[in-house]
Structure 1
Amino acid sequence: MKIIAYNVNGLKQSITNPGFCEFIYKHEIIVLIETHVTVNDYDKFEKYFVDYCIEWVGAERNSNFGRASGGVLIGCRRSVLCNFVKYAGSKGVYSDVEFGGRSFRIFPMYLNQCRWQEDFNRLTDEIRNHLDKHIILIGDANARLGQLQTLPEYTTDGISAIVSSCRNSKDFVTNSVGRIFVDACNELGLGIMNGRSISDEKGELTYIGARGSSVIDICGVSIDFLDELVDFEVSPQIYSDHMPIILTIRCSGRVDDGVTLPLLPRLRWSNEKKEDFNANLKLMLAEYPGACDVETKERFITDSIGKAAGRSSDPVANRDNFKFTAKKPWFDRECYRMRERSFALLKSHRVNGSEIMKQFYLLVNKEYKQMCDRKEIEYYQDIGNRLERVTCPKDYWAIVSSFKLREVVVDPQIAGCIWYEHFKALLNPSRDVGSIAYARPLVTIERLDKPFELWELKCVLNKAKANKAPGPDQIPYEFFKGMDVECLQILLNFFNEVFESDEAPKSFGRSVIFPLFKKGARNIVNNYRGISFMNTLAKVYAGLLLERLSLWMEEEGVLNEYQAGFRKNFSTIDNIFNLTSLVKIKLRIKRSKVYAFFIDFASVFDRVNREYLWYKLSREGVSTKFINALSRLYAHTESAVKLANSSTTEYFATCSGVKQGCLLSPSLFALYLNDLHDFLTEGVWVGDREVRHLSFADDVILLASSVVGLQRMIDRMEEYCRTWGLELNLSKSKIMVFRNGGRPSEKEKWHFADRMVDVVVRYKYLGYTLTPTLTPIPHLEEKSSMAKLAITSMWKQFLSHPKIPFTEKMKVFDAVVRSILCYSSQVWGFVLSDHVESVLRFFIKMVFSLPKCTPNYILYLETQLKPLYLYTLRMHFSYILKVMKMPSNRLPNYLAKKCVELDVYWAKEWGSLYEKYGTPLLNFENLPEWKTLIEGSLHIIERAMCAEFQERALCSRNHPQYLALRLESDVVPLSQFKDFQFCRWLFKIRGDLLALRYRPYSSDNQACVICSSGEIENCFHFIGRCRALFSVRNRYLGKSELDWGEYMALLKTGDPNMIKYCKIAWQLRYKTIFEYGLN
């Protein structure tokens, strides 16, 4: 067990330091000193210590200015049994610890220099009450001990290899409090560990700063507990001017993982070494074996790629493949090298104690911190530009994902054998289905059966995504994408041999499962889901098969129109549009209803019967050779679970389901369910088309026009599941009755296999929240809440950054927040919703630190932003145009034309836009004109909304200053200023929104309290009139008092001197009010 004590000199700055958290998490017990965290701020930091049970001692704030001082955090990993106790009125804390057969009491220590004796007395008095326990005293003593305290020989007998009786120290100074501290340790029976252990035999310095160096971070251990110690060290770290001290105790609390297998080190691709890689690979592949089985050839290719990339059987040599990892995206190799240089200088100083080396270390460490600040600013400023250059969804989501907080949440105390049994049972569900006997006909299809060609392989590799986790061979896609034609040709020959062979390599059936935490308690394996990763060589082969199969299915029209999952030119939006349009068309008739059964299958991908799958593929007309090639991939499927220690569990066989992580699986599952439409009866008629179900992969909706009709469909679904080995999760499968209003009928009850099915009034389908009347309000309420949460989650890491311009923050809002808020706006985008607009207003107020009462028109006029309604309306118009251009056999096209014909749903709302704004009417017979007419309509609506904001500003009685500003000409917009802090001040001043006593909606006394003028304390008074600020005004504005015209001139131009004045004057005003108790 490792115990660390670290004076972090401010937890807020340390927690964001790259590498700090990873370093801290290596220890079972952590003691962080001088956190500067007050009681009110505990919750801001607890999320960083979710693996620990923690307790705080709050920092104390002596004034309203500056930071708080002191503060302690103690944490024990949740696998450690501990109990925290506060003492001395919560000014101190200790913890009883039991782990691995050992028990002791640990006292964190921070003795403030300003009140050292008081803190020392409180601490030692408490320890004296617990001398019957094993005591560990650890922390910052702020006392210099020199080499004091020599232990009696008998106390170190038998443990002299670990603990020396004499202490060494590089700090030879002993001060008065140091002598007091040592005397107390002798009285309390505590042996001081500094300079006494194997790893600290020289007594390393624990504080290295510009003012000097010393040993003041101390660890004391009960003498009768010394034989339980393994080591003590002062770790050279640069996260603070103090060094962490680490005590290691002998414990036997290791989790037994059972039998584990080593995992190869992951290969790291480098574009700079591409030519060298190909040259080496050509030499290796020149010895490609001829007459041997595909198993041998697969091993040869995999080994050749590994060797060409520099992988060695020597684990030391594999360090060349090391890739540093940083939680901060801006922390690049340059920062890493500078940090390593700083570490090296610190270690060098510790070895020789040179003052010159110390100064050199301090200088380099300062440069390192400055570099980190610069890199962070440059990174975030570049994000907006990268978003503007995005040309495909992959690049877009790669940038968006950089804002997501990632943390390892797999409980390390879950043993490998438990993971093994859990996923073995999950991927081998019990099946109570019979076998199927049929004679597979011989079907040949040239498009499916011919050898693969080089262009097909290149197509698969071009579609492959970079930076994806590899499988057991640890070779990512980049090594295949980077191969030249000569190497690819050998690879192609191998794939064709596999295609023609009677068996596939065994590695093609293997995968590694990574457990991902969902929610709930993290020590329960059922709260994790697994994602599987196959060897990349197997994925490329599967990609070749998929391209063939997809092209054949598309050309032959194999999949029915009602399955939209994982198909080209089909999307989730199509299904949402189909469902809502169909329901609106039916509900136009009075007292009509539509009944929908939303089906949730239980582990459906894992329950697919493979023999049934080959039968269904044969029935759909897939060639015999192609089915055989697919079945060979499933002949021997095995999985192992990835553990935290770079190893895996043993492999276990999987006998059912389509392979997780395989590119072919979604298409194979779609073919497995393809006969569902013909198997069902009933359905809903729209014109001359009957819609029985809508499916997106395994998300299936059964649709009916009557109660009896839906029950018949449910009975058929039960029969289908029983026949083909599927199972419904009835706890998540629900029924919704779409209607125009009224109460549900008592007859509207349904059952599945003698179990009642719940009828709900709200259901989330493909991310869209549905209600019986199809009102979008619940969906928009939910999305607005999620969008606001996204804003607050990005607040600390990006949006609050004072040096990032508002334009860049707005680009991130558009990319991240708007994508959440406006999901499925293609369907509901014609609705003008305050729920949607409130998110943009919330964002502006939060970023500019504006009061909640800020008028909406000021937000739009000052930022020159357009309402989100214009964006959602554009998305809606564009989607309808896309639908109208679809082939006539497509369901969205058919339903859209019905909406136009019957003037219902969105088609009716378009007429309302014409009546409200005078937008041009769209001719549904002349689609080429639509794009121009849509742009014209949006421009008309935008002008109308801007005119409305301007009118509100000019009619406002509560904000006369802003009214006067809008009447001025040549007002410089905020967008012209790059300094965001400057913009924040200017925004508040122009809107008269500074937190002064002036309140436009209040009748309370609003007179200025720091001068005797009796004037209302608004922005004009604060900047141009207040007598208490004459001297500051003279210094920055050149006059002791400003008239209204001069004040408005400053507001119009955004004079930098005015902002400088405000910053100083604001501090002076606050200090005056605080010191004199003015209200």
Structure 2
Amino acid sequence: LRLLVLNARSIANKTSDLEYLLLARSPHVVLLTETWLNKDVPDNCIIPPGYQMFRWDRDSRGGGVAIIVKNSVSAVLVHCNLNETVWCRITFANNVYLVGVVYRPPVTQPEFLDKLNLFLCAHVKSTTRLILTGDFNLPHIDWEALSPGHVETSSAEILLEILISHNLRQIVNEETRVTPESRSLLDLLFISQRVGDYTISVEEGISDHKMIAMDILHSIGNRKRPFVPIPIKDYVQADDTSVIDFLECSFSQFQLACDCESVEELWQRFKGVINHCVNRFIPTRFKKTKQQNPWINRKIIHMKRKINRLRKRKDSKDQISQVRRNLKTALNESRQQFFNRRLGNFLKTSPEKFWRFFSEKKESIDHVQTATKMVTERKEIADCFNEFFQSVFSKDNGNSYDGEQFNSFPCCMEDFSITREGVFQQLLELDVKKASGPDEIPTAFLQRYAEWVSFYLEAIFQKSLQTHSLPQDWRSAIVIPIFKGGVRAIVNNYRPVSLTSVSCKLLEHNIAKHIIIFLEENQLLYPHQHGFRSNLSTVTQLIETIHDFSLAINDQRQIDVICIDFAKAFDKVSHNKLLFKLRQIGISSTVLEWIEAYLINRRQVVRVDDCMSCSLEVFSGVPQGSVLGPLLFLLYINDIASIVEPDVEMKLFADDCLLYSVVTNVNEQIKINRSLQALNMWCEKWDMEINYTKSTFTHITKKKSALCFRYNIGNNFLNNVNSFKYLGVTITHDLNWRKHVENVCSKASKKLYFLRKKLHNATKNVKLIAYKTFVRSVLEYASAVWSPHQKVLKSKLERIQRLAVRFVCAKYKWTDSVTSMLDSCDLELLETRRQKHRLILLFQLIHGQIKINKDSYVKLPCKRSDRLNHNLAIEPFNARVDVFRYSFFPDVIESWNTLPSYIVDRENIREFESLLDVYYCCERC
């Protein structure tokens, strides 16, 4: 089905251009806006023979829309009371399309789009093939982000609601009106999910608007790849008795070998025992991966095959028609049953199947583009990825680090031992769904036969620690390329995810646990490093950081913030220098030598489908996909804060780094700049690298004229930005949360749009769970930090939930009460939830469940007041400006002090949360 979309700006003056397009393109349908026709102009003056025309003309000059349809295509006019709109029901290749064209003049009242939505509600169903196009004159909408922009916001939001409510896609991505002064996307094209494959292009038109050409493909589709059944071990049918007997009998010989064999030999002996058990006592079954929707059952497949067989026979038209009717009925019933029953039951019986339904299917990597050629062979593709991932590593630059001292109070970590009971407990807690690493030992086997496997592993672990050696399997990784975005054929657009030995991870857990205990007891970790640490998170980091920023604004001061971006930080860690730092902070010689063996001679392969690349050396970085890797990285950069100037704060979350300080004169800005030079020298010394183009600085202040300074690192000047994203939160120069709220709403709208497409026929309960998981989680990430106080921003957030609850309840009429729907779904206002989250965080801080220095923020009042409700009242902050008044600590302390004593007196957080829910429920009622 070929369609053209044109903004004509007086089609009567361009009949020759129109005729040419009809001859050259031979479209089946042409959709026109701004026809500028009136009732005095007959159709035959506009269109050539062979076409018919459906139009809406203005009584005055300008405007007007029309649909031109080829006579060979069946078309029926659909009545619509909306001005500047024409709708037709078109039948092509046995498919029925509802086609509409709309012209919305600039500065039109929002009611225009409300009426359009009412028409769609009346005529569009889940099975409708809808095509809606026209000139909407809303150029400020960001269609990728689903953001309404800042001009004619009400109309833009309604149009986005139409998009989401009716499960549509807007498929025009190029500007359709280009002038020397501006470029705008005005002409839009919406299609429903039932519209099949298509091609679209934006080309020169017959006015100052470009033409949109769209072809809807009607074909049998691409030939499916033959799927190969996947062999898997059936542990349900396993001969457990024989497995346990063999493990028990083999262990005596294994014990005898422990004294005379190396760790590698013991490991290979252990693998041999397991492989024997797996191959002999555990049967294999074959799993067929489904390549169709989950509601396609065996009955439907048989009907489809029967139709194919009937096509080969003569005089089978009636039979085919009957089978098709039966197939349609069976398909509708199966789909309805899936969404009404099976999908919801998955939550109780197989939760992984429920969440798998929402996950994107992994697309195979068919080819990659190198600098010289296109690579299509799987083995070569895997090699290309491995070479790229290895290119990120860096060799030690040889810079001297002698004389460095990181521990002012030298202490040494005590040695520890591995117990069989501890290994046994670790094995029981394994997730059997986790993939095995390079050793190919099934995780399910380790967990199922944990009692006897623990004897073997305890002996191997002890031997490994005593001899400071590891099997090669433990120093190898299988890397899976994961697509990040952009062009799929470019290897740089993939990130590596590593699979390492599960058995080695168990020993790593033990080592990491004892290192962390040593570090915490001696307070050796930088206190403002919140990454990969228990009882600390992105939220705790943001709470402290935003408090400092808002306090500076409250004191009418300026704070300069430098956002440092390290390039591939985890991959550039020098092994020699890491070992030096571990030795300096007092890691025991036994653990230190084991870690040294753990780091050297590491290798990796890349897997693409079932093909493996050649093995390559890993000569830097902490092991990805390991347990020890994140902790080793924290220790490697632990001393970085010691190089900054006094009064310059450094906040770290893993490799995310912020430098900031209050500035009152240029000398204090020079001090920050000196810290940047010191940081650069630290990076050169320790083989780290700063990404100068992504590192930025911001002057945070409410002053009309900020104290400006151009920060630099060496010869590289940093970009001055008005906002930056830190740990997922957008921070602006004036600490206004408008931009962040817009980003959050945009992301949540896209998630909601996805659910609309995915769960159109699902039950209310399934939709509600999906909303809470995929949409509300976006709206509430770190919301305790950035909870807005402005009514307009709170309304933007609530609007997403109100739109979502309409989707959950499948009620879109104006007469339907959203408040009643929220109550029926037991959904609180997001504002209430944010306030409760803040109170819960404060409760955790007071009771030591968060590793923040509470004495800096929580103080008892100097004088008791009768207005205080309880003895745990906290001294409030003196807030002068709203930025500080509504930040985390001033706002939550005010709420805390008004809580009843029976709530704040609780010691258990679950009890506190429960009473808090009741309290706010009563407040709402």
State how far apart, in whole Å, the 2-side matches of 1:770 and 1:673 are: 25
State how far apart, in whole Å, the 1-side matches of 2:554 and 2:405 are: 50
**Residues 754, 927 of structure 1: CA spacing in aligned structure 2 closer, same or farther, 3 A cutoff?**
farther
**2:501 equivalent among 535, 545, 563:** 535
State how far apart, in whole Å, the 2-side matches of 1:841 and 1:431 are: 56
Secondary structure at the counterpart of residue 730 of structure 2: strand
Structural mapping, 1:198-209, within 5 Å:
none
**1:757 equivalent among 712, 718, 723:** 718
Matched, 1:323 2:287: yes
Secondary structure at the counterpart of residue 605 of structure 2: strand
Q: For residue 589 of structure 1, report the CA deviation from its aligned partner.
A: 1.1
State how far apart, in whole Å, the 1-side matches of 2:446 and 2:30 are: 54
Give 2:340's aligned residue.
Answer: 377
State how far apart, in whole Å, the 1-side matches of 2:923 and 2:73 are: 55
Matched, 1:648 2:612: yes
State how far apart, in whole Å, the 2-side matches of 1:544 and 1:889 are: 23
- Counterpart residue type for residue 653 of structure 2: F
Q: For residue 846 of structure 1, report the CA deviation from its aligned partner.
A: 4.0
- Counterpart residue type for residue 629 of structure 2: S
**1:732 equivalent among 684, 687, 694:** 694
Contact 1:900 1:907 in 2 (8 A): no
Q: Which gives a bigger RCO, structure 1 or 2 (Cα 8 Å, sep 6+)?
A: 2
Aligned-pair identity (%): 18
Matched, 1:422 2:387: yes
Give 1:782's aligned residue.
Answer: 743
Give 1:452's aligned residue.
Answer: 418
State how far apart, in whole Å, the 1-side matches of 2:526 and 2:891 are: 36
Matched, 1:563 2:520: no
1:60-86 per-residue CA deviation (whole Å, 9 max, x = no partner) reads: 6655799955279xxxxxxxxxxxxxx
Give 1:1057's aligned residue.
Answer: none
1:839-859 per-residue CA deviation (whole Å, 9 max, x = no partner) reads: 111113445352579776576
* Structure 1: runs of 5+ lacking an equivalent: 1-36, 41-56, 73-241, 249-263, 388-394, 685-691, 947-1079
1:693-723 per-residue CA deviation (whole Å, 9 max, x = no partner) reads: 1111111112222312311221221121111
Matched, 1:700 2:662: no
Q: For residue 445 of structure 1, report the CA deviation from its aligned partner.
A: 9.8
**Residues 595, 364 of structure 1: CA spacing in aligned structure 2 closer, same or farther, 3 A cutoff?**
closer
State how far apart, in whole Å, the 1-side matches of 2:393 and 2:892 are: 56
Secondary structure at the counterpart of residue 399 of structure 2: coil
Matched, 1:293 2:256: no
Structural mapping, 1:846-995, within 5 Å:
846-847=807-808, 848-850=810-812, 860=822, 865-886=827-848, 890-891=852-853, 894-897=856-859, 900-904=875-879, 905=884, 920=899
Q: For residue 246 of structure 1, report the CA deviation from its aligned partner.
A: 6.7
**Residues 852, 624 of structure 1: CA spacing in aligned structure 2 closer, same or farther, 3 A cutoff?**
farther
Give 1:196's aligned residue.
Answer: none
Secondary structure at the counterpart of residue 449 of structure 1: coil
Give 1:404's aligned residue.
Answer: 359
CA-based RMSD of the aligned residues comes to 4.9
Contact 1:919 1:936 in 2 (8 A): no
State how far apart, in whole Å, the 2-side matches of 1:638 and 1:676 are: 29
Give 1:1048's aligned residue.
Answer: none
Give 1:282's aligned residue.
Answer: 247
Matched, 1:677 2:641: yes
Contact 2:410 2:585 in 1 (8 A): no
1:124-176 per-residue CA deviation (whole Å, 9 max, x = no partner) reads: xxxxxxxxxxxxxxxxxxxxxxxxxxxxxxxxxxxxxxxxxxxxxxxxxxxxx
**Residues 835, 311 of structure 1: CA spacing in aligned structure 2 closer, same or farther, 3 A cutoff?**
farther
State how far apart, in whole Å, the 2-side matches of 1:471 and 1:67 are: 56
**Residues 343, 636 of structure 1: CA spacing in aligned structure 2 closer, same or farther, 3 A cutoff?**
farther
**Residues 852, 345 of structure 1: CA spacing in aligned structure 2 closer, same or farther, 3 A cutoff?**
closer
Give 2:133's aligned residue.
Answer: none
Give 1:1033's aligned residue.
Answer: none
- Counterpart residue type for residue 530 of structure 1: P
State how far apart, in whole Å, the 1-side matches of 2:903 and 2:824 are: 39
Matched, 1:636 2:601: yes
State how far apart, in whole Å, the 2-side matches of 1:742 and 1:806 are: 51
1:25-61 per-residue CA deviation (whole Å, 9 max, x = no partner) reads: xxxxxxxxxxxx9999xxxxxxxxxxxxxxxx99966
- Counterpart residue type for residue 841 of structure 2: Y
Give 1:958's aligned residue.
Answer: none
Secondary structure at the counterpart of residue 522 of structure 1: coil
Q: For residue 528 of structure 1, report the CA deviation from its aligned partner.
A: 1.2
Contact 1:609 1:725 in 2 (8 A): yes
Contact 2:836 2:916 in 1 (8 A): no
Secondary structure at the counterpart of residue 410 of structure 1: coil
- Counterpart residue type for residue 614 of structure 2: E
**Residues 401, 776 of structure 1: CA spacing in aligned structure 2 closer, same or farther, 3 A cutoff?**
farther
Matched, 1:824 2:775: no
Give 2:675's aligned residue.
Answer: 713
Structural mapping, 1:570-581, within 5 Å:
570-581=536-547
Give 1:508's aligned residue.
Answer: 474
Q: For residue 502 of structure 1, report the CA deviation from its aligned partner.
A: 4.4
Secondary structure at the counterpart of residue 559 of structure 1: coil
Secondary structure at the counterpart of residue 279 of structure 2: coil
Contact 2:529 2:651 in 1 (8 A): yes
Give 1:689's aligned residue.
Answer: none
**Residues 908, 582 of structure 1: CA spacing in aligned structure 2 closer, same or farther, 3 A cutoff?**
closer
Matched, 1:70 2:93: yes
**Residues 547, 912 of structure 1: CA spacing in aligned structure 2 closer, same or farther, 3 A cutoff?**
closer
**1:834 equivalent among 791, 795, 799:** 795
State how far apart, in whole Å, the 2-side matches of 1:942 and 1:812 are: 24
**Residues 762, 836 of structure 1: CA spacing in aligned structure 2 closer, same or farther, 3 A cutoff?**
same
How many corresponding residue pairs?
A: 679
State how far apart, in whole Å, the 2-side matches of 1:421 and 1:909 are: 46
* Structure 2: runs of 5+ lacking an equivalent: 1-27, 32-69, 79-87, 96-218, 370-374, 664-668, 861-873
**1:744 equivalent among 681, 685, 706:** 706
Contact 2:247 2:273 in 1 (8 A): no
State how far apart, in whole Å, the 2-side matches of 1:522 and 1:718 are: 34
Secondary structure at the counterpart of residue 310 of structure 1: helix
State how far apart, in whole Å, the 2-side matches of 1:247 and 1:816 are: 32
- Counterpart residue type for residue 494 of structure 2: Y
Secondary structure at the counterpart of residue 287 of structure 2: coil
Secondary structure at the counterpart of residue 764 of structure 1: strand
Q: For residue 511 of structure 1, report the CA deviation from its aligned partner.
A: 1.0
State how far apart, in whole Å, the 1-side matches of 2:903 and 2:807 are: 43
- Counterpart residue type for residue 462 of structure 2: N
**Residues 579, 503 of structure 1: CA spacing in aligned structure 2 closer, same or farther, 3 A cutoff?**
same
Secondary structure at the counterpart of residue 874 of structure 1: helix
| TM-score, scaled relative to structure 2 | 0.63
Secondary structure at the counterpart of residue 304 of structure 1: helix
Structural mapping, 1:543-622, within 5 Å:
543-590=509-556, 592-622=557-587
State how far apart, in whole Å, the 1-side matches of 2:358 and 2:464 are: 42
**Residues 917, 841 of structure 1: CA spacing in aligned structure 2 closer, same or farther, 3 A cutoff?**
farther
| TM-score, scaled relative to structure 1 | 0.55
State how far apart, in whole Å, the 1-side matches of 2:839 and 2:74 are: 57
Secondary structure at the counterpart of residue 812 of structure 2: coil
Contact 1:870 1:942 in 2 (8 A): no
1:419-456 per-residue CA deviation (whole Å, 9 max, x = no partner) reads: 25633543433553436568999x99997533311233
